[in-house]
Amino acid sequence: MAMLNSNGFVLTTVDELLSWGRRNALWPLTIGLACCAIEMMHTAASRFDLDRLGVIFRASPRQADLLIVAGTVVNKVAPMLKLLWEQMPDPKWCISMGGCASAGGPFPTYATLQGVDRIIPVDVYIPGCPPHPQGLLYGILQLQKKIKEKGVKKYDKAFEEFRRDLERQGLIPREIAV
């Protein structure tokens, strides 16, 4: 049937169903790094109640789809965070919550990672120090929108290939020098 249908109707419907399931069951990892973690907890608690959107926190990275980097990432914890990200099964997404995670925030110091996107590809940045729970909710809604629009990609693998390509062509330094 799917072969006969030339405009790929069946395929898109299946894709849409998959993306619907995934965006409505985003399970973030229970990881709090600093101040933002408190607001993340507030977002999950009574007043804002992330469970309404089907978002429940899972403690094990194997069971999580979403990494909310809530707080300052320092140089010492960065490899651990990267490890957790690698332990999560595809498809997975990352929300960088707050100024520190997005760009180092108010800590341009020797100990702080200046933006978590240097180790993990980020899908949604949420500004604020810390962002309000409404901000995090908005970020999650934006992520759902993004999943709906872009479909589901294997982010990490695609990125790794892309990077290897660039390296093979010797493009990385020039890319950065622009």
Partner 1 sequence: MELWLSILITLIKILVVLGVFLGLGAYLTWFERKLAGHIQARMGPKLVGPFGLLQPLADGIKLLTKESIVPQNADKPVYYLAVVMALAPSLLLFSVIPFGPSFKLFGYEIKPIISDVNIALLLVFAFGSLAVYGTIFSGWASNSKYAFIGSLRKSAVIISYEVVLGFSVLGVILLAGTMSTTGIVQAQIERGVWFIVHQPVAFVLYLFCMLAESGRVPFDIQEAEAELVTGYNVEYGGMRFGVFPLAEWYLNVMALSAIAVVLFFGGWSGPPIFGPLSPYLWFLIKMFALVFFVLWLHWTLPRFQARDITEIGWKIMLPISIVNVVVTAIVAYIM
Partner 2 sequence: MPWMNRATADRIKFEFKDVEIEFTKHTTNLHVKQERLIDLLKHLKEREGYRHFIDHTCIDFPEKRERFQGIYILYNPDTNERVIVKTWAKDGKLPSIEKLWPCAKWAEREAYDMFGVEYEGHENLRRMFMWEGYPYHPLRKDFPLEGFPEVELPSLTELYAGRTEPPSHDYEVMHTRIATLEDLERTEKSRLQKKAQLVLNWGPLHPGTHGTIWFLFDLDGERVVQSDIILGQLHRGMEKIAENLYYFQFLPYTDRMDYISAICNELSYVTAVEKLLGVEVPEKARYIRTMFAELQRINSHLLWLGTGALDLGALTVFLYAFREREKIMDIIEGNAGFRLTSAFLRIGGVHYDLAEGTLDVVKAFIKDFPNRLKEYHNLLTRNRIWLRRTKDIGVISREDVFNYGLTGPVARGSGVPYDIRKLEPYAAYDEVEFDIPVGEVGDVYDRYLVRMEEMVQSLRIIEQCVAKLEKLPKSAPYINKEHPAVMAPKEDVFMALEDMVKNFRIVVHGESAPPGEVYASGENPRGELGFYIYSKGGSKPYRLRIRSGAFYNLSIFPKLIKDGTIADAIALLGSLDPVVGETDR
The listed partner (partner 1, partner 2, none) that binds 63, CB under 5 to 8 Å by sort, is partner 1
- Is residue 168 a contact residue for partner 2 (CB under 8 A)? no
Question: Choosing among partner 1, partner 2, none, which partner's interface includes residue 56 (Cβ < 5 to 8 Å by kind)?
Answer: partner 1
62 interface partner picked from partner 1, partner 2, none, CB below 5 to 8 A per type: partner 1
CB atoms < 10 A from the CB of 172, how many? 12
- Beta carbon of residue 49, minimum distance to partner 2 (angstroms, whole number): 9
Q: How would DSSP label each residue in the chain?
A: -TTT-TT-HHHHHHHHHHHHHHHT---BB----SHHHHHHHHHHSTTT-GGGGT---BSSGGG-SEEEEESPPBTTTHHHHHHHHHHSPSS-EEEEEHHHHHH-TT--STTB-S-GGGTS--SEEE-SSSPPHHHHHHHHHHHHHHHHHH----HHHHHHHHHHHHHHTT-HHHHHH-
Contact pick of 27, 53, 91, 119 for partner 2 (by CB under 8 A): 119
CB of residue 105 vs partner 2: minimum separation in angstroms?
9
69 is in the binding site of which of partner 1, partner 2, none (Cβ under 5 to 8 A by kind)?
none
> CB under 5 to 8 A by kind: which of partner 2, partner 1, none does 108 bind?
partner 2
Binding residues for partner 2, rule: CB under 8 A, are: 30-35, 37-39, 41-42, 45-47, 59, 71-72, 74-81, 83-84, 102-103, 106-115, 117-122, 129-130, 132, 159, 162-163, 166, 172, 175-176, 178
